[in-house]
Structure 1
Amino acid sequence: MNLLTAITELISIFLFTTLFIFIARKAAKRVGLVDKPNYRKRHQGLIPLVGGISVFAGICFTFAIADYYIPHARLYLGCAGVLVLVGALDDRFDISVKIRAVIQAAIAVIMMMVGNLHLSSLGFIFGSWELVLGPFGFFLTLFAVWAAINAFNMV
C-alpha cells in the first residue's frame, strides 16, 4: 500500500465515522441511549452514548473498503460486535458487572479457540532463551484481553 492510498483510506474512515456520529446521536436520543448528569458527572443535559458504536461502525467501514487481506476479520468483527452490543445495553440498562465480565471472558475464549489466537511465548525477553508460556499462555491471554477491553472502555 502506498502513502496516498493510506492517507485516502484514513480520511475516508474519519469522514465516515464523523458522519455516523451525527446520525447515531439523533437515534440515541430517541431510544434513550444517553448519559444523564449525576453526582459523579459534570456535564449538563443528556449526552448521547454513541462513541463505541461509531468507532465500531468506522472499523466495519475500514474492513469493507480495505483491499488487502486482514487475518481473522470475521472473527474479530463478530467478537467486537458482541462487545459493542453489550456496551450499548449496559449504557442503556446498567448490566451487572459479573454478567459483563463473563461475556468478556467468553469473547476472549472464543477468539483463542476459534482463531487459535493466544500467547504462546514472550520471545527472548530475558536474553538468549525463549520464554515459552505453555498452557499458562491461555490464562495470560484471557487476562490480557479482559484488561485491554476494560482499559479501552475506561478511556
Structure 2
Amino acid sequence: MGFLIKYIVVFAVGVAASLLLVPLVKKIAPAMDLMDEPDERRIHKKPIPRCGGIAVFIATHLALAVVFLGPWRQLAGTVQLPEWGIIFVCSTILLLVGIFDDRYDMRAWFKLLGQLGVATL
C-alpha cells in the first residue's frame, strides 16, 4: 500500500470517528448539563451543546491509535509509543479542563493556569 494511502486511511479514521461521535456527544450534552444557554452576551437563541471537544479528543486519539498500534509505525516518524502516552495524558488533562469549563464557566485565568500547567509537562 502506498505511503499516501496510509495517510489517507489515518485521516479517514479521524473524520469518520468525528462524524459518528459529534451527534452522539450532542445528544448526551443535556444529560451532562453541558449546554450553552442564550443570554445577553450570546447571539444564539436556543441552547447549544458545549462539549464538542470530547468528540475531537476521541477521534484524534483513534487516528493516533491507528498510527501507533497499527502496522504503519513508520507514519509516526521518530515519535515512539511512550511519547504518545505523554501526549495522551496531557490532552486528557486539557480535555478535563475544557469539560470543567463547559460545565462550570471557569474564569479565564484559571483555564490559562491549567493550560500552562500542561504545557510545562
Q: Which has the larger radius of gyration?
A: 1
Q: What is the alpha-carbon distance in structure 2 between the residues aligned to residue 96 and residue 42 of structure 1?
A: 21
Alignment partner of 1:77 is 2:88: yes
Alignment partner of 1:21 is 2:32: no
Structure 2 stretches lacking a partner, 5+ long: none
Give the equivalent residue in structure 1 for 2:41: 40
TM-score, structure 2 normalization: 0.81
TM-score, structure 1 normalization: 0.65
Give the equivalent residue in structure 1 for 2:55: 54
The sequence identity of aligned pairs, in percent, is: 26
Q: CA deviation at 1:29?
A: 1.3
Greater relative contact order, per chain length (Cα 8 Å cut-off, separation 6+): 2
Q: CA RMSD in A?
A: 1.6
Structure 1 stretches lacking a partner, 5+ long: 111-155
Q: CA deviation at 1:61?
A: 0.5
Secondary structure of the structure 1 residue equivalent to 2:31? helix
Q: CA deviation at 1:49?
A: 1.3
Residues 133-153 of structure 1: CA distance to partner in whole angstroms, max 9, x if unpaired?
xxxxxxxxxxxxxxxxxxxxx
